[in-house]
A and B are shown apart, each in its own frame.
Chain A
Amino acid sequence: MTAAAEGSPTFGTTRARRNALLQSEPVQGFALISPTFLYALVLLVLPILVVVAHSFWTQNYLTIDRTFTLENYRVALTEPIYRDLLWRSLYISLMVSFFTVVLAYPIAYFISFHGGRHKSLWLFLITIPFWTSYLLRVMSWKVILGYNGVLNSGLMGLGVIDEPSTALLYNSSAVIITLTHAWAAFAILPIFVSLEKIDRTLVEAAKDLGDGPIRSFLRVTLPLSTPGIISAALIVMIPTVGDYVTPKLVGGKDGVMIANAIQAQFGKASNWPLGAALSVTTMLIVTLMAGATVLIIRAAQRLAR
């Protein structure tokens, strides 16, 4: 600014104006965020557009035929194998988000209402396993549920069963258990945040007006924490639908999910357009399911009041 003022007087005003524009809050703020914004545009938005484009193309051996077609979507939606995988993935992610939210809510409530001075310690204690390698956590479930695993050998040692059970590993229940464990901490945080925001005098008012602890919880605390429940459900549902590691390690033949099929199209099967169409379909359907979940939770909240 001072440099501009000392500059040649004829250009002084325009330069000062330009400097004022450059120093204005929106321009500075936007300039500061632009490298990160560009990074996300080039490495996230552009690639996703490329995937969407591929989903309308076809592949002849190694070359991509760029004529528009909906054939990949027809295959993705009608071929029984992909349809089944898609349904199973949606079912598993719905189950996992339901269980994580139901299991996480009491913990979030406990920390928020009874955590006292140790709130952040509790949060730390609960989130730390989440930071350890996802691959290793899934692997440890394989160790637990396996034919010669911890659970089987433990139960046999205790005399509960005579021979190892094969029902524990390699099915969709194993996938649901493992994913529920893996995503547990992620569901706690949004619920905790929404519980923290609740004005405690409202809960006290309900009690003063004669509501018991359960009624005041159902009519005040629970409805007010709905935003947390919704974001917890979504933050678990959307990523788990595309999980690859868990079905591969503990799912076996009956626990295969759509991500395994997508990976196959980009690997062995080498049909990129079909893989792209499967990805886009999965994302669209999980978005619809997420939207429906939000509406259902909101409707339930209205009914509760």
Chain B
Amino acid sequence: MTAMRRFLASGWLSTYAFLYVVFLYLPVIFLPIFSVNSAATPKFPLSGFTLKWYEDLPRTPALLDAAWNSLVVGVSASILSTVLGILAARSITRYRYPGRRAINGLIMAPLVLPEIIVAISMLLVILQLGLSLSLFTIVLGHVLICIPYSMTVLTAGFEGFDRSLEEASADLGESAFGTFRRVTLPMVAPAIISSLLVCFTISLDEFIIAFFLTGTEATLPIYIWGQLRFASKLPGVLALGTLLLAASFLLMTIAEILRRRAARRTQNEGGLHA
């Protein structure tokens, strides 16, 4: 009730907050609206409900290939970046050593660099080494930009983790690996799954790096980019876009729920045993 009263008391601020959320969501909502509209151009008034644009999707081989490529790239990138993220997050939260902040800064740097800089610099090196561009090179790029997000999720999950639990396990005769597997891992599992989901979503939606580092194979965003040149293909793109939006939304919601559970778990159980 106090929350409600405070919400109402804040007057113009809450009105602004409401308008802001509308501003954030409104553009995105037009995609699903026009994806079920029977007209081929997205304009008002709406001409009628149809699902034909969705029905056409599974009949497009190029799209199915792109979806498969996205899945392969997304799964590989999310696993690799989460493994590298676990090592780094564990090191950052558990140990103190010189250069720790500088290394952390370097690992987080892709977060604030223009993606085109990351993309062209990797492209130059790959071409210089004479490697051919493929899905593998996209994975390399995606891992680089996913690690900062993975680190953010994981350090939050690892912090507040009670070290005395691990020490107790070691005192009771567990090996370092046994302690990690039986004590540490169960505590941080939600954060790890959350990191996997976040990284998969980023990879699934990422365009610039994939665009520069791809050979002949397309991921879904590259496929969409190619289709945007043809006005007649727009409804199909809107339908595909709606499915991608729904996937991102779903994955991020699960990731958020797990992230919160992870935070609660490390805090509560740490508190219980302290």
Contacts and interface: CB of A to CB of B under 8 A. Distances in A.
- B partners with A: yes
A43 B141 CA distance: 8
Interface in A137-153: 137, 139-141, 143-144, 146, 148-150, 152-153
A109 interface: yes
A81 to B, nearest CB: 18
B225 A39 contact: no
Residue from A26, A143, A241 with most neighbouring chain B CB atoms (10 Å) = A143
Given A44-B106, A129-B28, A136-B31, A36 B85 contact: yes
Contacts of A107: 16-17, 20
B268 interface: no
Interface stretch (B7-15, B49-57, B160-168, B185-193): B7-15
B107 A29 contact: no
B221 interface: yes
B27 A141 contact: yes
Contacts of A25: 95-97
B13 A109 contact: yes
A157 B44 CA distance: 7
A245 B9 CA distance: 42
Contacts of A153: 43-45
A114 B120 contact: no
B201 interface: yes
Interface stretch (B59-67, B71-79, B248-256): B248-256
B16 A40 contact: no
Contact of A26 (B85, B95, B103): B95
Interface string B225-260: 100100000000110010011001100110010001
Contact of A134 (B30, B98, B144, B205): B205
B28 A263 contact: no
Contact of A279 (B84, B117, B141, B224): B117
A136 B30 CA distance: 11
A63 to B, nearest CB: 12
A263 B87 contact: no
Contact of A117 (B3, B44, B113, B115): B3
A36 B112 contact: no
B216 interface: no
Contacts of A132: 28, 205, 244-245, 248-249
B270 interface: no
A61 interface: no
Nearest to A119: B3
Contact of B44 (A109, A146, A154, A262): A154
Interface stretch (A48-56, A201-209, A221-229, A297-305): A48-56
A47 B124 contact: yes
Nearest to B202: A131
B20 A131 contact: no
A103 B24 CA distance: 11
A44 B109 contact: yes
Interface residues of B, number: 85
Contacts of B114: 238-243, 259, 282-283
Contacts of A279: 116-117, 120-121
B237 A245 contact: no
Interface string B200-218: 0100110110001000000
B248 A239 contact: no
A26 to B, nearest CB: 3
A40 B221 contact: no
Contacts of B249: 128, 131-132
A238 to B, nearest CB: 5
A129 B103 CA distance: 31
A140 B85 contact: no
B87 A239 contact: no
Contacts of B244: 132-133, 136
Contact of B112 (A26, A114, A238, A272): A238
A82 to B, nearest CB: 15
Contacts of B260: 120
Given A30-B91, A44-B118, A242-B116, A114 B110 contact: no
A124 interface: yes
Contacts of A195: none
Contacts of B120: 51, 262-263, 266, 275-276, 279
A45 B144 CA distance: 11
A35 B87 contact: yes
A184 interface: yes
A302 to B, nearest CB: 26
A131 B201 contact: yes
B103 A37 contact: yes
A128 to B, nearest CB: 6
B27 A144 contact: yes
B16 A106 contact: yes
Contacts of B117: 48, 51, 242, 279, 282-283
Given A43-B140, A184-B23, A238-B114, 8 more contacts: A32-B90, A33-B91, A114-B10, A117-B3, A120-B260, A149-B42, A243-B116, A279-B120
9 contacts: A28-B95, A32-B95, A37-B106, A47-B125, A107-B20, A181-B24, A245-B208, A249-B228, A259-B116
